[in-house]
Amino acid sequence: MTIYGNAPILELIRTMAANDRLPHAALLYGEKGRGRKTIARYFAMTALCTGDQAPCGECPSCRKIAQDTAEIHPHPDFIWVEHSGKKQGFSVETVRNICKDAIVAPNDGERKVYLFADCDSMDIRAQNTLLKLTEEPPSHVLLLFTAEHRNAFLTTMLSRMMPLAVRPCTPEECRKALTEDHGIASAEAEKAAAACGGNIGRALAWLSNPEMQALTAAAAEATQAVATRRLYDLLRVLAQFEKDRFKAAELLRLLDLQVRDAMLLKYGMTGLMGCDRNSAEALSGVMTVRRFRALHDAVQEAYEALDANVSVKLVLASLGGSMLT
Ligand SMILES: [Zn+2]
């Protein structure tokens, strides 16, 4: 099982296992597509490994988890909790059943690992039902959660889990993952990795989605227009999305990352997440802290206006103006 990026988290998991100090609950949080579930599988593999150096990758347990996917779960003690209820969170009934099941001893080895994936819409009742198990789990239980944001959870729940921030890969790690694991040609993979800020999941979607490609191209063009103060060009790029609130919001998200990258580049910092380095570099040349604030605020304001159902056309036109004043 090859995992690209996030080496510090993997090392921490291995070290905790080697010292017999694995927590009873952990939360892997970060943007979708960064590999939260893949790391959760690695965590489970390490916890359930029966070899010498967990995860050995060779014992029957490791082999079973290596075959685990979103659909097939060959290891009887690695349990993906099924989504249920209206918002595809976890219903109280589902959580109750898990609490009952957790008391029962493992099938194969020493532990049972439960994965609650994508917990962002897990409601308060379900969390409260789970609280007791999270506070005092049987010693054989490991609870893993994934979410975009930590604040998806009540503080009472959060205080019982070890939070682990899942970071994006570098574009190079992302490119490697796309070529080695998904057989994508190197040039294509490089383009996708650069356009998606090292987010493997998003890069895979980008490759097969011309609309996403159009959005990243537009964000790059808009960044360039802001850098060179060409209002007409900026308005023209933005106007392409005035009929689609969802796409307009996605464009704003990409534009905000570009502004952020320009600021990072200005101060020689790493961790770029935007879709186009060239235009971010151009913008960094004319960037000041004040300008960064103004641009970021302008984009956020537009984002909120979109969310509040203001006319998309109006929001984008006024954004164009406020980015270049
Ligand atoms: Zn093993």
CA of 76 to the centre of ligand 1 (A): 15
Residue 8: left if φ>0, alpha if ψ -120 to 50, beta else—which one? Answer: alpha
pLDDT (0 to 100) of residue 2: 84
End-to-end Cα separation, the chain, in angstroms: 51
pLDDT band of 103, cuts 50, 70, 90:
very high
Residue 59 has pLDDT above 80, yes or no: yes
Cα 46 to ligand 1 centre (Å): 7
Residue 48, C-beta contacts closer than 8 angstroms, at least 6 positions apart: 61, 62, 65, 75, 77, 78, 108, 109, 110, 111, 113
- Interval between CA 139 and ligand 1 midpoint (Å): 20
Q: Give, in degrees to the nearest 5, the angle at Cα 259 between 256 and 265.
A: 140
Q: Residue 238 C-alpha to ligand 1 middle, in angstroms?
A: 52
User: pLDDT, tens digit, for every residue of 75-98?
Assistant: 999 999 999 877 788 999 999 999
Distance 231 CA to ligand 1 centre (A): 59
Average pLDDT of the chain, as a whole number:
94
Lowest mean pLDDT among 82-86, 124-128, 294-298: 82-86
Distance, in Å, from the CA atom of 210 to the CA atom of 5, rounded to the nearest integer, reads: 27
Amino acid code (one letter) for 317? A
Instruction: Identify the pLDDT of residue 105.
Output: 94
pLDDT in tens, 172-192: 999 999 999 999 999 999 999
Ligand 1 centre from 188 Cα, in Å?
35
Spacing, Cα 111 to ligand 1 middle (Å):
13
The residue-averaged pLDDT of 116-121 equals: 94
Cα of 104 vs centre of ligand 1, distance in Å, is 23
Q: How far is the CA of 21 from the centre of ligand 1 (A)?
A: 17
Predicted confidence at residue 325, as pLDDT, reads 82
Give residue 242's pLDDT: 95
Give the Å distance between the CA of 57 and the centre of ligand 1. Answer: 5
Q: Give the pLDDT score at 102.
A: 96
Compute, in angstroms, the gap from residue 113 CA to the centroid of ligand 1: 15
Q: State the distance from the centre of ligand 1 to the C-alpha of 11, rounded, in angstroms.
A: 16
Q: Which residues surround ligand 1, an ion (CB under 5 A)?
A: 49, 51, 56, 59, 62
Write down the pLDDT at residue 205: 94
Residue 262 CA to ligand 1 centre (angstroms): 44
**What is the pLDDT at residue 300?**
96
Say if residue 10's pLDDT is above 90: yes
Calpha distance 105→107 (Å, rounded)? 7
Tell how far the Cα of 143 is from the centroid of ligand 1, in angstroms: 19
Q: What's the pTM value of the predicted model, to 2 decimals?
A: 0.83
Q: Separation of 53 CA from ligand 1 center, angstroms? A: 7
Question: Residue 171: its pLDDT value, please?
Answer: 87
Amino acid 219: pLDDT: 97
Token digits of residue 167: 């970071």
Q: What is the pLDDT of residue 156?
A: 94
Helices (H) and strands (E) in the chain, counts: 15, 5
Which residues of the chain form beta strands (DSSP E)?
25-29, 78-80, 112-116, 141-147, 162-165
Kindly report, residue by residue over 239-275, the tens digit of the pLDDT. 999 999 999 999 999 999 999 999 999 999 988 889 9
Q: How far is the CA of 236 from the centre of ligand 1 (A)?
A: 56
How large is the average pLDDT for residues 121-139?
94
CA of 18 to the centre of ligand 1 (A): 12
Q: What's the confidence (pLDDT) of residue 46? A: 97
C-alpha dihedral (120, 125, 126, 128), degrees to nearest 10? 110
What pLDDT is stored for residue 140 in this prediction?
Answer: 96
Residues in CB range of 98: below 8 A, 6 or more apart: 79, 81, 114, 130, 133
The 10s digit of each residue's pLDDT in 303-320 is 999 999 999 999 999 999
Mean pLDDT along residues 33-61? 95
**Residue 264: predicted pLDDT:** 94
How many angstroms is it from 82 CA to the middle of ligand 1?
26
Q: Ligand 1 centre from 59 Cα, in Å?
A: 4
In whole angstroms, how far apart are CA 61 and each of 18, 180, 264, 312? 17, 24, 43, 52
Listed in sequence order, the residues at least 6 apart from 157 whose beta carbon sits closer than 8 Å to its beta carbon are: 127, 130, 131, 134
CB-based contact 315:304 (threshold 8 Å): no
Tell me, what's the pLDDT at 232? 95
Question: How far, in Å, is the centroid of ligand 1 from the Cα of 45?
Answer: 7
